[in-house]
Amino acid sequence: RHIQLSLAILLLGVGIATVTDLQLNILGVKAQVATVEQASIEAAQNLEAPIAIVTGASRGIGKAVALALGKAGCK
């Protein structure tokens, strides 16, 4: 059984990363970062990499989101 969710994560100083296609099943959690909307190009150019703060540790969703954001270049 799959449960599909859509989450939005605030990337400090940059904008919103929308995580779509987050699937929960008995084997684990899979997440893909679909888009990152930039608040301003100037703010993004002043950062080494976007910084994301992800919370949640009870079901693995936070870990999956953090790993997906890390693959997308976030700290």
Inter-CA distances, 16 with 2, 19, 24, 47, 59, Å: 25, 9, 22, 15, 23
Residue 55, token pair as written in the block: 């919370």
pTM attached to this predicted model: 0.38
Per-residue pLDDT, 51:
76
| The pLDDT of residue 6 | 46
| Domain residue extents for the chain | 3-71
Q: H helices within 1-75, ranges in order?
A: 41-45, 61-71
Give me the percent of the chain exceeding a pLDDT of 90. 0
| Each residue's pLDDT tens digit, 13-27 | 445 555 554 544 444
pLDDT at 62 over 70: yes
**Would you say 49 and 75 are in contact if contact means Cβ atoms under 8 Å apart?**
yes
At residue 48 the predicted structure's pLDDT band, cuts being 50, 70 and 90, is low
CB 52 within 8 A of CB 12: yes
